[in-house]
């Protein structure tokens, strides 16, 4: 199993551009999450999904959109990129059947908005 994969690894955007961060998992996990991590800080939840077709906002959803058309994929869309969105983005997944809901993280996407 590849686990949780994310593309791209690095990206530089200009202010106002848009892009989609890709996330895929091959563990048949129903739950998927997007986080951002600013330098020297903990992770903040942007959006999460408990299954295909179901998404919900986390702590910091403004400026982002998500979709979940399949169990495997959970892309994160940035519209009108702003410098405040410069961060490292982590995708994670978990299996709801497990009582502990342990999350498995992807390698991250480092995004810079100039």
Partner 1 sequence: ELKVEQNPLFLSMQEGKNYTIYCNYSTTSDRLYWYRQDPGKSLESLFVLLSNGAVKQEGRLMASLDTKARLSTLHITAAVHDLSATYFCAVDENNDMRFGAGTRLTVKP
Among 34, 48, 74, 89, the residue binding partner 1 under the rule CB under 8 A is 48
Shortest separation between residue 70's beta carbon and partner 1, angstroms: 19
**∠ CA 98-77-114 to the nearest 5 degrees?**
125
Q: Which residues contact 24 (CB under 8 A, 6 or more apart)?
A: 4, 5, 72, 73, 74
Residue closer to partner 1, measured from CB, 26 or 59: 59
Residue closer to partner 1, measured from CB, 17 or 61: 61
Which DSSP string corresponds to 2-49? --EEEE-SEEEE-TT--EEEEEEESS--SEEEEEEE-TTS-EEEEEEE
Among 44, 72, 86, 95, the residue binding partner 1 under the rule CB under 8 A is 44
User: Does 39 contact partner 1 by CB under 8 A?
Assistant: no
User: Does 112 contact partner 1 by CB under 8 A?
Assistant: no
User: Does 107 contact partner 1 by CB under 8 A?
Assistant: yes
């Amino acid at each position: 199993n590849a686990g949780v994969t994310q593309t791209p690894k690095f990206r530089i955007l200009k202010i106002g551009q848009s892009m989609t961060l890709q996330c895929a998992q091959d563990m048949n996990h129903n739950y998927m999450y997007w986080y951002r991590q600013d330098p020297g800080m903990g992770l903040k939840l942007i959006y999460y999904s408990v299954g295909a077709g179901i998404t919900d906002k986390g702590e910091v959803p403004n400026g982002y959109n998500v979709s979940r058309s399949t169990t495997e994929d959970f892309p994160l869309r940035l519209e009108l990129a702003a410098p405040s969105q410069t961060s490292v983005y982590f995708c994670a997944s978990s299996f709801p059947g497990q009582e502990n809901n342990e999350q498995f993280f992807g390698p991250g996407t480092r995004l810079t908005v100039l």
